[in-house]
């Protein structure tokens, strides 16, 4: 009987980790390297998801860029407050100036390519508009950075991003040429 209880508890634990609800809503980044389609985990990081989706709906990521591409680790967007080539309108600026709290859930891990992970400063509740797309597992980020979604389509684009020529500046591996997010749509 104890063995059966153990098996049932293990199955419940496994299914709870693998059954994270993925939103039907998508955010798509269009780049010169191809499109990246992203979906969200509204039950895991609801405040972060609402914020990133709103920025996408407002077009705040248009003309922004991936300032970091560290092969096998992350491709990271710049904060839209300083990363865009076009000026922000009042609504975009208002949303971009918001910070989101650190939303963590132990069962959700930085365990695969395509996971979306919120960037932040030293303050855990300082997430803005910059986020990373994992290019490989990064377990050292678990319980440190909020996971809020995943790439659903465009893995070939991530591979193309990893192929760009880079340079190292401090802890960052950065592309030598700008990787612009040309436009976004939801």
Residue 127: name the closest of 150, 110, 104 by CA: 104
* pLDDT in the model for residue 26: 97
Average of pLDDT values for 115-128? 97
Question: How far apart are alpha carbons 157 and 139 in whole angstroms?
Answer: 23
Is the pLDDT score of 9 beyond 70?
A: no
In the structure encoding, which two tokens stand for residue 158, read together? 């991530």
pTM for the full model?
0.89
**Which residue segments constitute the domains of the chain, with CATH numbers given?**
21-185 (2.40.100.10)
Phi, psi of 5 (to 5 degrees): -60, -40
Average of pLDDT values for 13-27? 72
Is the pLDDT score of 13 beyond 70?
A: no
Specify the residue for token string 């985990």: 41
Question: How far apart are alpha carbons 39 and 24 in whole angstroms?
Answer: 7
Question: How far apart are alpha carbons 8 and 82 in whole angstroms?
Answer: 51
pLDDT above 70: percentage of residues in the chain: 90
CA of residue 44 relative to chain centroid, distance: 13
Residue 148: name the closest of 181, 103, 96 by CA: 103
User: Alpha helix (H) ranges present in the chain?
Assistant: 2-18, 46-57, 80-83, 90-96, 155-162
* pLDDT in the model for residue 1: 44
* pLDDT in the model for residue 15: 39
Question: How far apart are alpha carbons 81 and 94 in whole angstroms?
Answer: 10
* pLDDT in the model for residue 6: 34
For 185, the 3-state DSSP assignment is: strand
Average of pLDDT values for 145-173? 97
Contact 44, 105 (CB under 8 A): yes
Is the pLDDT score of 167 beyond 70?
A: yes
**Sorting pLDDT into bands at 50, 70 and 90, what band is 94?**
very high
Is the pLDDT score of 50 beyond 90?
A: yes
Q: What's the CA dihedral at 140, 143, 145, 150 to 10 degrees? A: 90
Q: What does the mean pLDDT of the chain come to?
A: 92
* pLDDT in the model for residue 109: 98
* pLDDT in the model for residue 11: 38
């Amino acid at each position: 009987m104890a063995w059966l209880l153990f098996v049932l508890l293990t199955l419940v634990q496994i299914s709870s980790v693998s059954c994270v609800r993925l939103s039907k809503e998508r955010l798509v980044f269009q780049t010169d390297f191809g499109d990246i389609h992203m979906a969200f985990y509204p039950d895991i990081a609801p405040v972060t998801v609402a914020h990133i989706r709103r920025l996408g709906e407002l077009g705040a990521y248009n003309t922004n860029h991936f300032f970091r591409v560290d092969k096998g680790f992350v491709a990271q967007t710049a904060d839209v407050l300083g990363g865009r080539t076009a000026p922000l309108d009042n609504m975009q600026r208002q949303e971009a100036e918001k910070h989101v709290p650190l939303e963590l859930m132990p069962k959700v891990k930085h365990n695969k390519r395509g996971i979306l992970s919120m960037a932040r400063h030293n303050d855990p509740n300082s997430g803005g508009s910059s986020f990373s797309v994992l290019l490989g597992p990064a377990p050292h980020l678990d319980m440190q950075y909020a996971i809020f979604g995943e790439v659903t389509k465009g893995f070939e684009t991530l591979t193309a991003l990893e192929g760009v020529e880079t340079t190292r500046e401090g802890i960052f591996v950065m592309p030598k040429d700008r990787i612009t997010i040309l436009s976004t749509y939801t």
